[in-house]
Amino acid sequence: MKKNIVKILCIFLFLSVVGIALTSCQNEVTSSATYIKFQNISEYPFEVWVDGEYKTTIAGGTFSDQYSVAPGDRDIKIEQQSGYFYYPLQSEQTFTCTEGIINIVKFPLNTNGEITVQNNSNNNYAITIDGISKISQLYAHSNQTIDVEGWRQHTVVWWLNGIAVGNAVVQVDVNYNYTVPITN
């Protein structure tokens, strides 16, 4: 009888090991899913295409849903839908999607704009942008370009002998250089 109990225990143990092995094989992932998700870091909406196929329009400051894609290089195109002055920001890039993970693409890549202050007068001016000194002396009949944060409004003030003598309020996109002419 002891032998029978030992045999039954051995058979039970063998079947348990086989059952565990089969169950763990069923839970293994045989192929990894690859996903792409987009993060819009601007405050304006953008349309998104992947490999020439429209995917979504993403509101500013949000994430998109995730989309299943093949691993490898994907062609990404974005186009700004509102909030620009003259031209919408359009960008194309190649993004490499890694297999088995959610790949996050942040856009737009460029978040800087430019303001060119053009002095057409006979005076030399100091220039501030948003209250911060940017040019200590802009000579008569010269110009200078200043990098600023894009997608927002900036106030440019020109100063003569410590007195503000003019100003301009400029809405700056990232894909356009704005010129502020000084003519006093």
pLDDT digits (tens, 9 = 90+) for 126-136: 999 999 999 99
Token pair of 135, please?
A: 């040019």
What does the pLDDT look like over 2-22, one tens digit per residue? 565 555 544 544 444 444 443
In-domain check, residue 162: yes
Token pair of 174, please?
A: 């990232």
In-domain check, residue 16: no
Question: How many domains are there within the chain?
Answer: 2
Position 27 pLDDT exceeds 80: no
Q: Which residue segment(s) compose the domain that 72 sits in? A: 35-107
Token pair of 19, please?
A: 């059952």
Are residues 86 and 64 part of one domain?
Answer: yes
Closest CA to 139 of 117, 114, 156: 117
Closest CA to 94 of 74, 108, 109: 74
CATH number of the CATH domain containing 76: 2.60.40
Are residues 127 and 88 part of one domain?
Answer: no
Position 144 pLDDT exceeds 60: yes
Are residues 164 and 123 part of one domain?
Answer: yes
pTM for this predicted structure: 0.54
**Please, what sign has the CA dihedral across residues 11, 12, 15, 16?**
negative
In-domain check, residue 51: yes
Q: What is the pLDDT of residue 173?
A: 77
Of the chain, the percentage scoring pLDDT greater than 70 comes to 82
Q: What is the pLDDT of residue 22?
A: 39
Question: Is the pLDDT higher at 105 or at 4?
Answer: 105
CA distances from 133 to 128, 129, 130, 157 (A): 4, 7, 9, 9
What b-and-e string marks burial along 139-157, b requiring 16 or more CB atoms within 10 Å of the CB?
Answer: eeeeeeebebebbeebebb
